[in-house]
């Protein structure tokens, strides 16, 4: 019985079984296609997926080194609070103002030193209307990239990179 099943051809054209990789036309695995598949799976199932207009972030008018806005939006910046959550022993209080816990919002917007930076960079008018209307630092960044000019968004990216 087993031999009869093995002898049954599935498709006439198939001569020999072979392993193929579904992500490439030629059927061969590449690291790039493996990464792409992994990212597709993560974006649809992982909590790290952040909704937003990502294409706007990449179009800001700033030096490439300052286009780290994605790190802010994906919560990759190692603030004191995030370090503590990863079991790194450090003081949680902001080292600049010594008044409150250093989380993303505080480090880039809430801290007095950060606010002075926004002021001296001439970007207070970009900061002020958004402080009370956005729910997270990622939404803050996406809002600036969506509603401000590419040049202003670029200056913001440069300032955030400097902070």
Residues 94 and 150 both lie in one domain: yes
Residues 131 and 154 both lie in one domain: yes
Annotate the chain with DSSP letters as a single string.
Answer: -HHHHHHS-S-TT--S-----TTSTTS---HHHHHHHHHHHHHHH-TT---S-HHHHHTSSS-GGG--HHHHHTT-S--HHHHHHTT-----B-TTTSSSB--HHIIIIISHHHHHHHHHTT-HHHHHHHHTT-SSHHHHHHHHHHHS-HHHHHHHHHHHHH-
Q: What is the spatial distance between Cα 93 and Cα 24, in angstroms, rounded to a whole number? A: 49
Residues 38 and 67 both lie in one domain: no
Residues 90 and 150 both lie in one domain: yes
Residue 97 confidence (pLDDT): 94
Name the domain count of the chain: 2
Residues 78 and 133 both lie in one domain: yes
Whether 44 has a pLDDT exceeding 90, the answer reads: no
Which of 49-53, 74-78, 108-112, 135-139 has the lowest average pLDDT? Answer: 49-53
- Which of 45, 62, 79 represents a domain boundary (last residue)? 45
- For residue 17, what are the domain limits? 2-45
Q: What is the spatial distance between Cα 51 and Cα 74, in angstroms, rounded to a whole number? A: 10
Residues 119 and 147 both lie in one domain: yes
- Token pair for 38: 């992994």
Residues 97 and 143 both lie in one domain: yes
- Token pair for 21: 């990789």
Residues 158 and 81 both lie in one domain: yes
Residues 35 and 68 both lie in one domain: no
pLDDT range class, residue 113, cuts 50, 70, 90: very high
Residues 41 and 73 both lie in one domain: no
Residues 59 and 124 both lie in one domain: yes
Residues 20 and 97 both lie in one domain: no
Q: What is the spatial distance between Cα 107 and Cα 68, in angstroms, rounded to a whole number? A: 15
Whether 54 has a pLDDT exceeding 90, the answer reads: no
């Amino acid at each position: 019985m087993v031999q009869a099943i093995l002898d049954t051809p599935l498709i006439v054209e198939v001569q020999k079984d072979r392993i193929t990789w579904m992500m490439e036309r030629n059927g061969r695995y590449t690291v790039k296609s493996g990464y792409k598949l992994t990212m597709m799976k993560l974006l649809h199932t992982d909590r790290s997926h952040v909704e937003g207009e990502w294409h706007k972030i990449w179009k800001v008018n700033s030096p490439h080194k300052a286009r780290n806005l994605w790190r802010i939006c994906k919560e990759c910046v190692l603030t004191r609070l995030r370090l503590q959550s990863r079991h790194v022993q450090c003081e949680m209080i902001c080292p600049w103002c010594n008044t409150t816990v250093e989380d993303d919002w505080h480090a880039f917007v809430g801290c007095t030193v950060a606010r002075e930076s926004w002021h001296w960079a001439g970007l207070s008018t970009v900061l002020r209307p958004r402080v009370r209307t956005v729910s997270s630092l990622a939404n803050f960044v996406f809002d600036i990239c969506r509603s401000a000019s590419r040049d202003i968004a670029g200056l913001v990216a440069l300032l955030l990179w400097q902070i």
